Amino acid sequence: MSRPAGIRFGTPQWAEAFAAQVAQSSEYRNAAAAWGKGFDGSILLVFEADANRAGVERLRLALAEGRCDGAAFLAPGDSSRAAFELQAPFGLWREVLDGRTLAATAILTGRLRVVGEKLTLLRHTAAHRALLHCAASVETIW
Amino acid sequence: MDRLSSALQDRLQGVVFTPDQFVAEYLTNFGQIHHWTPRLVVRPARADDVAETIRFARAHGLKVSTRGSAHSQSELAISDGGILLDMRSLGRVLSVDQDGETVDVESGVVWRDLVHHLKRWNLFPRVLTNNLGVTVGGTLSVAGIGVASFRHGSQGDNVVELDVVTGTGDLVTCGPDREPELFWSVIAGLGQVGLITRARLALRKAKPLTRTYYLLYDDVRKFLEDSRIAMDAGHWDHLESWASPCPQGTKPVGGRRQVFARWFYPFHLTVEFEPGSPPDDERLLRGLSPYEKLYVDDKPMIDFLERLVPIFELWKKAGTWEHVHPWMETVLPWDTAGDYIDQVLPDLPPGMLIGGHVLLWPAKGPSSRSRLFMRPPGENLVGFGILPAIPPRHWSKVRPLLDNASRLSTLLGGKRYLSGWIDFTPEEWRAHFGAQWDSFAAAKKRWDPEGLLNPGFVPFDATTAAATVR
């Protein structure tokens, strides 16, 4: 019996694989060269419970000038924050990561909610698109 | 034969056409996105024909849409089962007042024809659109902006008087001081309140020659700074600019490799001058810091006004004039313009611009008094337009990119220019007009109570309902 390929979402291994994707992405390195320059570029991706998945997952990313200096899912009860939070139901995140919905569109239409200085985020849409593409590039068991 | 056709024809001096007589252009507009079939097309011979057509439509439960050169790209200049007025038949230049520097024209007059009519007196409209092949009534209904707008506002700001047929079929003369509510609801009013049949336009005496300085910038912020300096200098008559791609190869965008470009910013600054008194180049260009000064070109005024005609002709010859034109034009606040352009251009595949271009136009907000030509607050503004020609089969792939460019402009404080491709929700329409929405809706109710005029674009009923629900 063969095991399914990929890494289970929400695990430390998944966060590590994501950080590795960021590290090797020339798209991210170029698009995010100015992200976090002179300001705190940390981001919290909040995957909210919905019909697709019970429970909340919170992925904290330390990002600066085209690098990912750390990626980790927060343990339940860990109230760590980040300078920016992107919040959406799990189903919408799946749409974004599967490429069925553009992250920029989801942000611009308010489906993907932003906590933090929205204007700063909007000035770096290419960086966030590249970041989410890195997430989508991790072979994932949902 | 449609039974209404002969009944309407009996009332008009103009001509009524039935679908079997339609030419293909009546079924769409320049956008080539919406394809509608009218029930009847009318080519009016006089303003009374327009009024009579509206009264006839009211009596028979039909809607009335207007079409000039049909350069619109949304649900304008087309009709879905109603009467489509082809206003180009109202194409006469009526009179010129040389001393008063005004001209009276029927609304179907094409700007290029008017310019040629006026050149003998060296009189010209204060503002002309880049594309002169559009009608007076058409551009006044969206505002009408051009390379002299930073000085003189929109074309709508340079109207002395209008004859308008309202949605009740009444022919009313209005101007900034005569029936001003109606006047300012018609200027940039998208044909929602009344249909323009005659306009008296303010002219200006021009000098016979022009000198254009072709400057190039490699940095959008340097370009913006110099465009502000140029607007404030007081000696430039026309300012025109673009963003121009220099393809570099491919890069991953969302994981898929896409051609990307280094963008440059051509900036063309023009002064008019008398023969024998050429401009002082050094004085004019003092304080500007372009990447390169490329070229200086002298030409007669009329050639300057027609400078883009060869480009449009090339696009027509190449076949791209028949492609889908989802033009996304927006007026941005000065403070966010650089950020916006930085975000949008890197994602724009240069191939999209075959048969099109990216326009930039520095603007002065206070130069316009128009209530319905919506623009951000502030003195200095930047117009930005992605003007592509898309083969129809690629339209669905390109659409999200333009959708996002439109939404991002709104979120960064921009206001869309409504002659282009607009896909607003009812809430977005309301937000676009902001504080002007209620007075626009009230004007619609007052002068077109049955919602006859140019339906299908501005959703007055839907936004009212949405507001009620909230």
Cα distances from B60 to residues B3, B9, B41, B81, in angstroms, run 11, 14, 15, 12
Degrees, nearest 5: CA angle B197-B198-B203: 145
Q: What is the average pLDDT across A84-103?
A: 88
Could you tell me the pLDDT band of residue A109, with boundaries at 50, 70 and 90? confident
Closest Cα to residue B195, out of B77, B35, B66, B283? B66
Instruction: Answer whether B255 sits within 8 Å of A118, measured CB to CB.
Output: no
Share of chain B above pLDDT 90, in %: 91
Comparing B2 with B149, which gets the higher pLDDT?
A: B149
Q: Residue B463 above 60 pLDDT?
A: no
Q: Over chain B, what is the mean pLDDT?
A: 95
CB pairs under 8 A between A and B: 53
Q: What pLDDT is recorded for position A99? A: 75
Write the ipTM: 0.78
Nearest to B346 among A25, A118, A126 (CB): A126
State the burial class of residue A83 (Cβ atoms within 10 Å of its Cβ: 0-12, 13-18, 19+): middle
Q: What is the spatial distance between Cα B208 and Cα B272, in angstroms, rounded to a whole number?
A: 7
Decide: helix, strand or coil at residue A87.
strand
Closest Cα to residue B136, out of B99, B101, B161, B100? B161
Instruction: Answer whether A105 sits within 8 Å of B400, measured CB to CB.
Output: yes
Share of chain A above pLDDT 70, in %: 97
Chain A residues at the B interface, defined by Cβ less than 8 Å, are 25-27, 30-31, 99, 102, 104-105, 108-109, 118-119, 122-126, 129-130, 133, 136-137
* B236: CB partners within 8 A, 6+ apart: B230, B269, B270, B271, B284
- How many Cα neighbours within 13 Å face the side chain of B93? 15
Q: What is the average pLDDT across B80-100?
A: 98
| B337-387 pLDDT tens trace | 999 999 899 889 898 888 899 999 999 999 999 999 999 999 999 999 999
Q: What is the CA radius of gyration of chain B?
A: 22
Q: Closest Cα of chain B to A11: distance in Å?
A: 24
User: Got the DSSP string for B168-220?
Assistant: TS-EEEEBTTBSHHHHHHHTTSTTSSEEEEEEEEEEEE--SEEEEEEEEES-H
Q: What pLDDT is recorded for position B462? A: 67
Strand order in the sheet with A84-89: A67-73, A57-64, A43-48, A84-89, A113-115
Nearest to B343 among A105, A125, A130 (CB): A125
Degrees, nearest 5: CA angle B264-B268-B272: 175
Query: Which chain B residues contact residue A130 at CB under 8 A?
Result: 252, 254
Q: What is the average pLDDT across B197-220?
A: 98
- How many Cα neighbours within 13 Å face the side chain of B314? 8
Q: What is the spatial distance between Cα B95 and Cα B295, in angstroms, rounded to a whole number?
A: 39
Contact B118, B124 (CB under 8 A): yes
Q: Residue B187 above 50 pLDDT?
A: yes
**For residue B423, what is the DSSP state?**
-
Instruction: Answer whether A109 sits within 8 Å of B252, measured CB to CB.
Output: no
Nearest to A122 among B346, B400, B411 (CB): B411
Could you tell me the pLDDT band of residue B467, with boundaries at 50, 70 and 90? very low
Contact B436, B371 (CB under 8 A): yes
Q: What is the spatial distance between Cα A141 and Cα A139, in angstroms, rounded to a whole number?
A: 7
The beta-strand segments (E) located in B79-170 are: 83-86, 93-97, 102-106, 123-125, 159-166
- List the alpha helices (DSSP H) in chain A: 12-23, 26-31, 90-97, 103-108, 118-122, 125-136
Degrees, nearest 5: CA angle B439-B440-B444: 115
Nearest to B255 among A102, A108, A137 (CB): A137
**For residue B390, what is the DSSP state?**
B
Contact B403, B396 (CB under 8 A): no
Place of tokens 């500007």: B288
Nearest CA in chain A to B412: A119
Amino acid found at B369: R
Q: What is the spatial distance between Cα A106 and Cα A88, in angstroms, rounded to a whole number?
A: 9
The gap between the terminal CA atoms of chain A, to the nearest Å, is 20
| A29-85 pLDDT tens trace | 999 999 999 999 999 999 999 998 888 999 999 999 999 999 999 998 898 899 999
Share of chain B above pLDDT 70, in %: 98
Three-state secondary structure readout of B221-259:
HHHHHHHHHHHHHCCCCEEEEEEEEEEEEEEEECCEEEE
Query: Which chain B residues contact residue A129 at CB under 8 A?
Result: 253-254
Instruction: Answer whether B254 sits within 8 Å of A30, measured CB to CB.
Output: no
As given in the structure block, the two tokens for residue A83 are: 């300078």
Q: What is the average pLDDT across B227-235?
A: 97
Cα distances from B284 to residues B233, B289, B415, B458, in angstroms, run 9, 12, 32, 44
Place of tokens 């001058």: B273
Amino acid found at B129: T
Q: What is the average pLDDT across B384-400?
A: 94
Contact B362, B241 (CB under 8 A): yes
Q: Closest Cα of chain A to B344: distance in Å?
A: 9
* B376: CB partners within 8 A, 6+ apart: B331, B332, B333, B365, B413, B414, B415
